[in-house]
Structure 1
Amino acid sequence: MFMALEPRRLYRQVADQIRTLIGTGELVVGERLPAERELAERFGISRPTVREALIVLELEGLVQIRMGSGVYIMRKPAAGPAVLPADDSDGPFEILQARCIVESAIAEEAARCAGPECIAALDANLDLMQDALGDPDRAVALDCAFHGAIIDIIGNSALKRFTGLVYDRRSSPYFERLASYFEGPHTWKLALDEHRVIRDAIAAADPSAAREAMRAHLTLAQKRFSESFGEEQARED
Structure 2
Amino acid sequence: MNYKLSKPKRLYQEIGHQLYTELSSGRYKVGDRLPPERDIAERFSVSRAVVREALIMLELMELIEVRKGSGVYVIKLPSASSSNDTIEKDLDEEDAGPFEMMQARQLIESYIAEFAATQVTKNDIRRMREALDMERKNIDLEATDYDGDKMFHLAIAEATQNSVLVDVLLNLWERRERSPMWKQLHSHITDQTYRKKWLVDHDNILTAIQRRNPNDARQAMWQHLENVKNTLMELSEHGEPDFDGYLFIDNPVQIKAS
Q: Which range, TM-score by smaller chain?
A: 0.7 to 0.9
2:113–2:217 contact (8 Å) kept in structure 1: yes
2:134 corresponds to which letter in structure 1? L
Q: Separation in 2 of the partners of 1:99 and 1:184?
A: 23
2:61 corresponds to which letter in structure 1? E
Offset at residue 179 of structure 1 (A): 2.7
Match of 1:161 among 155, 167, 176: 167
* Superimposed CA distance per residue, residues 6-64 of structure 1 (whole angstroms, 9 cap, x where no aligned partner): x9622112211222222232111111111111111122211111100110111111111
* Superimposed CA distance per residue, residues 147-202 of structure 1 (whole angstroms, 9 cap, x where no aligned partner): 01111112211121222222222120101211333474222111121111111111
Q: Which residue number in structure 2 is paired with residue 93 of structure 1?
A: 99
Q: Which residue number in structure 2 is paired with residue 202 of structure 1?
A: 209
Q: Which residue number in structure 2 is paired with residue 4 of structure 1?
A: none
Q: How is 1:56-205 mapped onto 2 (pairs within 5 angstroms)?
A: 56-78=57-79, 79-80=81-82, 81-82=86-87, 83=89, 84-87=91-94, 89-133=95-139, 134-136=142-144, 138=145, 140-171=146-177, 172-182=179-189, 184-205=191-212
2:72–2:238 contact (8 Å) kept in structure 1: no
Question: Relative to 1, partners in 2 of residues 1:207 and 1:143: Cα closer, same or farther, differing over 3 Å?
Answer: same
1:216 corresponds to which letter in structure 2? Q
Task: Indicate the SS of the match to 1:72.
Answer: strand
Q: Separation in 1 of the partners of 2:212 and 2:109?
A: 16
CA RMSD of aligned residues (A): 2.2
2:205 corresponds to which letter in structure 1? I
Q: Separation in 2 of the partners of 1:45 and 1:194?
A: 29
Runs ≥4 in structure 1, deviation > 6 angstroms?
none
Q: Which residue number in structure 1 is paired with residue 30 of structure 2?
A: 29
Q: Separation in 2 of the partners of 1:148 and 1:189?
A: 19
Task: Indicate the SS of the match to 1:27.
Answer: coil
Q: Which residue number in structure 2 is paired with residue 229 of structure 1?
A: 237
Q: Separation in 2 of the partners of 1:22 and 1:161?
A: 41
Q: Separation in 2 of the partners of 1:51 and 1:148?
A: 28
Q: Separation in 1 of the partners of 2:93 and 2:240?
A: 33
Task: Indicate the SS of the match to 1:181.
Answer: coil
Q: Which residue number in structure 2 is paired with residue 218 of structure 1?
A: 225
Q: Separation in 1 of the partners of 2:33 and 2:132?
A: 42
Which runs of 5 or more residues in structure 2 are unaligned? 1-7, 243-258
Between 108-117 and 169-178, the greater mean CA deviation after superposition: 108-117
User: Between Structure 1 and Structure 2, which shows a larger proportion of helix residues?
Assistant: 1
Q: Separation in 1 of the partners of 2:187 and 2:209?
A: 31
1:229 corresponds to which letter in structure 2? E
Which runs of 5 or more residues in structure 1 are unaligned? 1-6
Give the number of aligned pairs: 226
1:115 corresponds to which letter in structure 2? T
